[in-house]
Amino acid sequence: MPITCTSGCGKNAALKRPKTGDALCKECFFTAFELEIHHTIITNKLFESGQKVAIAASGGKDSTVLAHILRLLNQRYNYGLELVLLSIDEGITGYRDDSLETVKKNRDDYQMPLKILSYEELYGWTMDRIVAQIGRTNNCTFCGVFRRQALDRGAKLLKVDSIATGHNADDIAETVLMNILRGDTARLRRCTDIKTGSNDDSSNENSIPRVKPLKYAYEKEIVMYAHYKKLIYFSTECVFAPNAYRGHARTFLKDLEKIRPSVIMDIIYSGEQLRFKDTVKKPIRGTCERCGFVSSQQPCKACKLLEGLNRGLPKLGIGKKSKGDRMIAQQDKELKLRERANLVKNDF
């Protein structure tokens, strides 16, 4: 027997919301989902009229729904935003090259300008070449670090006021779990922030705010919205992702969700309420002396990883700084010995 939409519209329900358990028709689900995103944007003052906002576009479900909804809400509620798409090409054959075709389709459908930057043009490396050097153990570290800085570089080129990312509630809950398991208090204290960075950060002109309009949106509901709206998105998983540490946190979270459906919001709320002792060391955001972009260490992680690749020491930026310093010292010592040997050889 058909179930009536619980909103009272009189239509038959087409789905059950994973987040609330409400049985809704498609139209009422669209309205509820869009209103929640609008409420998140307004309540947290994510944007100001007249701002230029870059949407981090990968072609996946999250960024596609984000682009669609920001365009819709911008027109419906007169946000007064200039929206552009910013994509990063990591150089992963059979994955990113295909997903960028979806991004280009989004560009045409939503009539937004698109800027694509590649690891190769920014760093001189592709992820395919990096994985060939480092293997499949720490490859996600390189990709994550380079991607974050690449977005900053792209945002600076486009002269935008903020970057909107497609991080959803599941992503944030997973990140909270990962940081707890790793004991990473620095990231744990800020991973639930809906807005990071600030235009008022006078210490760093390259500090461009990042906002998460989908912070409280469940991944399942994003998929349902994209499905019923018939949005075009790329759904293939990265070929290098199966070994990622995040995958274990995701599996754990899904198992918990079966037992307690509200666990995603519970974890986010817990992360938001965490407080640390004053004795806990806080990283200080500054500017990398090499590249000039935001960093809490010298040199920044991106520059350190890139140095390792260029030196033929791909694991240089992995692990403790002291270990990396020893690797550099050993390599420099070997180079001096070779130079000395060549000089002796030339004397004869």
| Residues that constitute the known binding site for ATP | 56-58, 62, 88, 166, 171
Q: Whose CA is closest to 282, among 195, 199, 187? A: 187
The DSSP result for 284-344, as a single string, is PPEE-TTT-SEESSSS-HHHHHHHHHHHT-TTTTSS-HHHHHHHHHHHHHHHHHHHHHHHH
Show the CA angle centred on residue 42, arms to residues 72 and 199, nearest 5°.
Answer: 100
Residues near 137 by beta carbon (within 8 Å), at least 6 away in sequence:
243
**For residue 22, how many C-alpha atoms fall within 13 Å in the half-sphere facing its CB?**
15
Binding residues, as ranges, are 56-58, 62, 88, 166, 171
Q: Are 229 and 218 in contact (CB under 8 A)?
A: no
Decide: helix, strand or coil at residue 243.
Answer: helix
Q: Are 84 and 53 in contact (CB under 8 A)?
A: yes
Q: Are 55 and 85 in contact (CB under 8 A)?
A: yes
Phi, psi of 116 (to 5 degrees): -115, 125
Show the CA angle centred on residue 216, arms to residues 142 and 90, nearest 5°.
Answer: 20
User: How many CB atoms are closer than 10 A to CB 202?
Assistant: 8
